[in-house]
Structure 1
Amino acid sequence: ERGREVPASEVAARWGRTRGDDLATIIYTSGTTGRPKGVELTHRNFVAHTRNGASGLAEVCAQPHSRTLLFMPLAHVFARYIEVLCVPSGAVLGHTPDTRNLLPDLAAFQPTFVLAVPRVFEKVYNSAEQKAGGGTKLRLFRWAAKVAIAYSRALDTDAGPSAALSAQHRLAGRLVHVKLRAALGGRAEWAISGGAPLGERLGHFYRGIGVRVLEGYGLTETTAPTTVNRPGLTKVGSVGPAFPGTAVRVDDDGGIWISGPHVFRGYRHDAEATAEALVDGWFRTGDVGSLDADGYLRITGRTKEIIVTAGGKNVAPAVLEDRLRGHPIVSQVVVVGDQRPFIGALVTLDPEMLPGWLSNHGLPAMDAVAAGQDPRVLEALDRAVERANEAVSRAESIRKIRVLPTDLTEANGYLTPSLKVKRALVLKDFAADVDALYVDTRADQAG
């Protein structure tokens, strides 16, 4: 209590009364497609899961030199889990409250492992590309990025990287990659990504520059990670095998189910939702995915986010959104098309990246609203859409985009703490913009 020191005897008494099944915390789900629910997590959830984590990720977080700088909000279960994990693992933990000072803070703290959501890794890459400017420096950066990705992909082949590719990788490392690692503090060996799909391109890029990204998957209801790529157990593009102490199965419809001591005990004051989610000792995640022959999980998307076009085509928006969001000036993407004749997308521009991109492309300065209407900017976005569409069939491809006049941020309520878009809210507030995509559909239907 404020203004009163709690006696040591009282602390010991409270400690003694605490049991594993007691409530430790309530974390409210981000509510991307529905109303947030209070997830009740117990002390047992955290103790069992962090002990398994300290063992399964020992090479990352339980070395004498292990240290991490936490900049994700503690409202997010991923950050809360890492905070607790540092107790049994012995890692040094630092906090920084303001991501506007993130790069200087990383340089000062020099973490050996970094955790973040994919948007952070995207922005580090895009910022580095923008700082390269134009001309020879930009060509050098792009060459070094391609080499990093090619080298990482070659590591997954039986033959491994060729002698020529290895030589290019060493040269790129001296000229460019070392500077990129410096942006993460200079000592980062590992990065843990969660909260949304990272995508193979970025996974290979970071591994290629010497920072191995361990992508994982989990939910608030599973006390964060439930599958994770780990040292020696990594497939870039997957979210890894089951975490130590956990079990994963995929039903005939692709639905992902989770079991283990890390699964929550129920939703706060919501017995109906709890009974729907917890069935015979398994948690129904609401996500769709697949397990390969080696037990590595790949995520397709959320069941509630699957789009069914007027033609009956089922489309998982995550792949298209991730690829299109890789363009330097694209901030957020919401793929639409449910019960519509084709797939479209709402796009927002990144106000931080836009000035440098415009300058590098010989275009005059303009704000995001003007840029969203400029034919030269729209042409660049159309090319980005074409590249994103290469990952899907014609029926699943984006036919039209509409640039929104404002970005989607946590501050204006459109992003969750883990920087996922609140899809239902966006579709409601920007319904007129969605309708505008389908004003004249004849040409698109003919195609």
Structure 2
Amino acid sequence: GKKSFKDSKYKSWIDAQSPSDLATLVYTSGTTGDPKGVMLTHSNIKSNVDYSQLRFGPRSSNPGAPTLDSSTRILSFLPLSHILERMAGHFLMLQSGATIAYAESPDTLKEDFLQVRPTAGSSVPRVYEKMYVAMRDQASASSVKLRIFNWAVKIAKQKAHSTNLNPALSVKHAIANRLVYSKVKSALGGNIQFLISGGGKLSKDLCALYHGAGILVLEGYGLSETSPVITVNHPDAPRIGSVGPPLSNLEIKIDPTSGKDSEFSTLGEVGELLVRGPSVFSGYWNKPKETKESFDGDWFKTGDMVLLEPDGYVTFLERIKEILVLSTGKNIAPTPLEDALIQNELVEQSIVIGDEKKFISALLVPNAAVLESWADEPSLNINDLCTHQKTIDHFSKIIDELNLNFEPHEQIKQFRIIPEEFTEENDLLTPSLKKKRRNILDKYTKEIKSMYS
């Protein structure tokens, strides 16, 4: 590479480019519709990198805080076709002078973390969920280890939500750190200062667990159309459950139409998030109609319902297209139910159904290893266990307990246990590990129909 590099040729290529030139086409994930080619210019991406660096770079106001700089080291393992990884794991790191190590494969991540010992990183919620499941599975090797793990999880959440760490909680937290948290941090290389979560909604409970365990996970929010970052938590002032305030070069406002009668309206403005600024795309490739429909004047309509608090922090509530409207007229956001379901060790994945139906139902993918251990039925395979009455009765109890935390119209009335995990390979997850709801509903038409027959 060094021998073939020609400085004059490089400079002439740079001089031929304009900030307004098309830099890349990034296709949307297609979770609720056909993918569209998002046209991003050099200027779009550069502005997003610059103002993200302002948030995470060295700050004179807090010199000891976690930062991105030349000492930063990350392990990149998400596909670079995903705009989050391309910006946060590539462009932002290069501009910060950081070192980027690329994982050998998804199967070697455990070894790669220990070898690279990263100080920061970014990923999607599904990866943080799988990290937690892996920890829990490891603890399930013995009943004693599992009790200790569950106790440590409880202490971590108490610590995360505590404004005043009393002596008793401090002692418990120190013990939990020695027995559990320190092992988790060591498995990540032992040097993590902070991690960023984007590309989907991270469970508030899971975020609290990581914070309480001493692993700072900063949730952000954005879209391919915005290069992608719109909001992200500040390392100096993170807020669990929030996706943080907007970058300082972006303007946001709320269209309250979709947020009428929201339970969150007492906390701030609720409705569709609109955004404008230099990182907002110019349009969809060869789709002028869809481009026009996605803007209100120069404001881009994100299609997401959020809570905007008076201090500027944003909480993601739901994709407007994914809100379930029951035949009774009640609106249900599926994400809180799905997040609550996967908190149980037996539930690996879930999807909630109910659009134009009388009630809410769910498809549940079990954690195969935990289910087989719990059932203690060596003669039955995972397919048999999913339809075994013993399993169904136990899952019914799980659902009943979960329903106590939700309003009557939000409660799950029927469910089916399905053995096949949602993956990218079976086209039920996007490359960024979001559920392809339409594909899942099509694949399990028979099971869904049986719940409403």
Q: Please, what TM-score do these two structures have when normalized by structure 2?
A: 0.90
Unaligned runs of 5+ in 2: 58-64, 258-270
Name the Cα RMSD after superposition.
Answer: 1.9
Q: Deviations over 1:128-157 (max 9, x none)?
A: 122122322111111111111101110xx3
Number of the residue aligned with 1:55: 54
1:100 aligned residue (96, 103, 107):
107
Number of the residue aligned with 1:187: 191
1:281 aligned residue (292, 298, 312):
298
Separation in 1 of the partners of 2:224 and 2:104?
Answer: 22
Q: Is the 8 A contact 1:53 1:244 kept in 2?
A: no
- SS of match in other structure, 1:372: helix
Number of the residue aligned with 1:45: 44
Separation in 1 of the partners of 2:369 and 2:419?
Answer: 16
Q: Is the 8 A contact 1:61 1:86 kept in 2?
A: no
Number of the residue aligned with 1:315: 332
Q: Is the 8 A contact 2:53 2:92 kept in 1?
A: yes
1:86 aligned residue (82, 93, 96):
93
1:392 is displaced (CA, Å) by 2.4
- SS of match in other structure, 1:346: strand
Number of the residue aligned with 1:147: 155
- Identity level (%): 36
Q: Is the 8 A contact 2:37 2:285 kept in 1?
A: yes
Letter paired with 1:314: N
Q: Is the 8 A contact 2:104 2:112 kept in 1?
A: no
1:130 aligned residue (119, 132, 137):
137
Q: Is the 8 A contact 2:375 2:391 kept in 1?
A: no
1:286 and 1:11, CA in 2 relative to 1: closer, same or farther beyond 3 A?
same
Number of the residue aligned with 1:257: 274
Q: Is the 8 A contact 1:221 1:263 kept in 2?
A: yes
Q: Is the 8 A contact 2:48 2:228 kept in 1?
A: no
Q: Is the 8 A contact 1:61 1:91 kept in 2?
A: no
1:24 and 1:384, CA in 2 relative to 1: closer, same or farther beyond 3 A?
farther
Separation in 2 of the partners of 1:22 and 1:61?
Answer: 31
1:21 and 1:171, CA in 2 relative to 1: closer, same or farther beyond 3 A?
same
1:97 and 1:73, CA in 2 relative to 1: closer, same or farther beyond 3 A?
farther
1:79 and 1:60, CA in 2 relative to 1: closer, same or farther beyond 3 A?
farther
What are the within-5 Å matches in structure 2 for residues 47-446 of structure 1?
47-58=46-57, 59-82=65-88, 83-132=90-139, 133-154=141-162, 157=163, 160-253=164-257, 254-350=271-367, 354-359=368-373, 362-364=376-378, 366-439=380-453
Q: Deviations over 1:383-438 (max 9, x none)?
A: 43334434421101111111224222100111111111111122223222211111
Separation in 1 of the partners of 2:229 and 2:278?
Answer: 12
Separation in 2 of the partners of 1:222 and 1:390?
Answer: 39
- SS of match in other structure, 1:94: strand
Number of the residue aligned with 1:33: 32
Q: Is the 8 A contact 1:71 1:95 kept in 2?
A: yes
Higher alpha-carbon deviation: 231-240 or 377-386:
377-386
Separation in 1 of the partners of 2:202 and 2:256?
Answer: 26
Q: Is the 8 A contact 2:346 2:370 kept in 1?
A: no
Letter paired with 1:118: P
Separation in 1 of the partners of 2:435 and 2:349?
Answer: 8
Unaligned runs of 5+ in 1: 440-447
1:292 and 1:355, CA in 2 relative to 1: closer, same or farther beyond 3 A?
same
Q: Is the 8 A contact 1:223 1:264 kept in 2?
A: yes
1:233 is displaced (CA, Å) by 2.5
1:377 and 1:116, CA in 2 relative to 1: closer, same or farther beyond 3 A?
farther
Higher alpha-carbon deviation: 390-399 or 356-365:
356-365
Separation in 2 of the partners of 1:369 and 1:217?
Answer: 37
Q: Is the 8 A contact 1:40 1:265 kept in 2?
A: yes
Number of the residue aligned with 2:267: none
1:258 is displaced (CA, Å) by 1.3
- SS of match in other structure, 2:225: helix
- SS of match in other structure, 2:290: helix
1:270 is displaced (CA, Å) by 0.5
Letter paired with 1:149: K
1:337 and 1:212, CA in 2 relative to 1: closer, same or farther beyond 3 A?
same
- SS of match in other structure, 1:50: helix
1:260 is displaced (CA, Å) by 1.6
Q: Deviations over 1:192-219 (max 9, x none)?
A: 1111211111111111111111011111
1:75 and 1:391, CA in 2 relative to 1: closer, same or farther beyond 3 A?
farther
Q: Is the 8 A contact 2:372 2:382 kept in 1?
A: no
1:303 is displaced (CA, Å) by 1.2
Q: Is the 8 A contact 2:70 2:96 kept in 1?
A: no
1:5 and 1:91, CA in 2 relative to 1: closer, same or farther beyond 3 A?
closer
1:366 is displaced (CA, Å) by 4.5
Separation in 1 of the partners of 2:422 and 2:206?
Answer: 22
1:6 is displaced (CA, Å) by 6.8
Separation in 1 of the partners of 2:82 and 2:398?
Answer: 31
1:382 is displaced (CA, Å) by 2.8
Separation in 1 of the partners of 2:379 and 2:189?
Answer: 32
1:70 and 1:435, CA in 2 relative to 1: closer, same or farther beyond 3 A?
same
Q: Is the 8 A contact 1:239 1:299 kept in 2?
A: yes
Q: Is the 8 A contact 1:23 1:42 kept in 2?
A: yes
Separation in 2 of the partners of 1:189 and 1:362?
Answer: 41
Higher alpha-carbon deviation: 111-120 or 323-332:
323-332
Q: Deviations over 1:213-265 (max 9, x none)?
A: 10111111111221111112221011111123222221112111111211111
